[in-house]
A and B are shown apart, each in its own frame.
Chain A
Amino acid sequence: RKEVEQDPGPFNVPEGATVAFNCTYSNSASQSFFWYRQDCRKEPKLLMSVYSSGNEDGRFTAQLNRASQYISLLIRDSKLSDSATYLCVVNPYTGRRALTFGSGTRLQVQP
């Protein structure tokens, strides 16, 4: 089983739609979680951290469910500029390991 698993998509949604992505992680000891965004042929960039109580940044909401070992990202009122690949990132807190990146979920927002 992969340490971090994501549905690769693509998710094709119309502008203005609400879309949600889930990500599961295998290590129950994981302590910190992030969502990164990667535009086509560009480098990944931090979108937001995910806190235990859940957190919101404008149209974006991140949630953590430790019992089921998944994190989610909700995007409301989708814009064309939201089209990108969203990477789920987990700190496995095992040995000397650093952050582990999921393979990403691709979102295409249609006009």
Chain B
Amino acid sequence: DAGVIQSPRHEVTEMGQEVTLRCKPISGHDYLFWYRQTMMRGLELLIYFNNNVPIDDSGMPEDRFSAKMPNASFSTLKIQPSEPRDSAVYFCASSMTSVGEQFFGPGTRLTVL
């Protein structure tokens, strides 16, 4: 298995631009999680899906952030418009249960100038 796949691995954009991050979970995993990691705040859960349905989006910082999971093998996290404070590493993870081992992708390092 290829593991969780994320793209792009690095993204540099200017303030105000739209950013779309992509994730392909491990096949057979029913749960998909989006996290953001910064030095100041550590690893924060943004949203998670079960069978493509959003279950808890209480961690989504504001309306500029949105996430979708149109099918079991693909999810996107979109930031529109982006701001410098959104600069962070964004991880996608998948698991078979909501409380079992999570397998993380390599992350997308986002820099908003």
Contacts and interface: CB of A to CB of B under 8 A. Distances in A.
Co-assembled chains A and B? yes
Interface of A: 31-32, 34, 42-46, 87, 91, 93, 95-104
B105 A43 contact: yes
Contacts of A91: 99
Interface of B: 31, 33, 35, 41-43, 45, 48, 55-56, 91, 98-99, 101-102, 104-107
Contacts of B104: 43-45
A98 B45 contact: yes
Given A43-B107, A44-B104, A45-B104, A98 B33 contact: yes
24 contacts: A42-B106, A43-B91, A43-B105, A43-B106, A43-B107, A44-B43, A44-B91, A44-B102, A45-B104, A46-B101, A91-B99, A93-B99, A95-B56, A96-B55, A97-B56, A98-B33, A98-B48, A98-B99, A99-B45, A99-B98, A99-B99, A101-B35, A101-B43, A101-B45
B98 A98 contact: yes
A7 to B, nearest CB: 13
